[in-house]
Each structure stands twice: as C-alpha cells, then as structure tokens.
Amino acid sequence: MGNRIVLVFTILLACQLAGEVIARLLGLPVPGPVLGMVILFVALVIRGHVPDDVGVVTGGLLQNLSLLFVPAGVGVMLHAGLLVQNWLAVSAALMASVVITIAVTGLAMRWMRGFAAGDEPEGQP
C-alpha cells in the first residue's frame, strides 16, 4: 500500500476542496463534500472503472461511516435543557416523521417500479 493510501486520500480531499471552491464561487446551497462526490463520480465515469486502490481505501472508510457521526452527536449535551423542555414535541416529531418518511419514500419507489414493470411480461402473475 505505502503511499497509495496517501494518493487516494489526496484524491478525496482534492475533490472535496474543488467542491467547496465551486459551491462558494457559484453561490450554490449544496455543501462542498456533496459536490465533491459529484466530481469524483464524473472522474470515475471518464476513467471507465474504479482503480483497485480507490476501491480498497474508500471501502474501508465507508465501512466505518457511522463512527464519523459520533462527535456531532455528542453535541446533544449542549442542548440538554432545550431538549428536556420540548422533549415530547421533539421525540414525537422525530419518531413519527422518520417512520412516515421512510414508508412514503419506499412505497413511492415500489409504486413507480410497478408502473415500469407493468410493460414487461414478468410483471404479470
């Protein structure tokens, strides 16, 4: 591996950096890393395949993606008072909204797929 890890990280950071600069130059409401994802995606399309090192390093990073949210989550201690005061409204809204959103999105995808599949013979019983 050696400096290949460094190379892949340089690519990821350069995409993020380019994303941040473009978002600010054009005044886009999208954050730099999301634009960086688009930039890397376009680079992969041009390249035509995922180089092995890029696949290995990004795979390792994404396997541990949820760890990266821990520091921001600990920030819950900053708003303990406000959250306790509004605990019912906040917890009910979050729980109900997440359940409804996941259900509506998943069912919309399935419903739209049903339309598309209706044109094909395997869509019949």
Partner 1 sequence: MIATSREIWVYLAASPLLHLTMTLAAYLAGDWLFRKSGQKAIFNPVLIAIVILVSILLATGTSYATYFEGAQFVHFLLGPATVALAVPLYRQFERVRHSGPAIFVALLAGSATAIVSAVLITWLLGAPQNVVASIAPKSATTPIAMGISEQIGGLPSLTAVVVILTGILGSMVGTGLLNRLGVRDGSAQGFALGLASHGIGTARALQVSEVAGAFSALAMGLNGLATSLLVPLLFHLLGQWFWP
Residues 76-95 that bind partner 1 (CB under 8 A): 76-79, 82-83, 86, 88-90, 92-95
Q: Are 8 and 54 in contact (CB under 8 A)?
A: yes
What does the chain come to in residues?
Answer: 125
Q: Which of 1, 6, 59, 123 binds partner 1 (CB under 8 A)?
A: 59
Residue 63 tokens, joined: 């396997």
* DSSP-assigned letter for residue 120: S
CB of 2 to partner 1, least distance (A): 19
Closest approach of partner 1 to the CB of residue 18, in Å: 10
* Closest approach of partner 1 to the CB of residue 21, in Å: 13
Separation of CA 86 from chain center:
29
Q: Is 41 in the site for partner 1 (CB under 8 A)?
A: yes
Alpha-helical segments (H) within 27-121: 32-47, 52-63, 70-74, 80-85, 87-117
Shortest distance in whole angstroms from residue 27 CB to partner 1: 12
Residue reference for tokens 């509506």: 104
Q: Does 108 bind partner 1 (CB under 8 A)?
A: yes
Residue among 25, 26, 65, 84 that touches partner 1 (CB under 8 A): 65
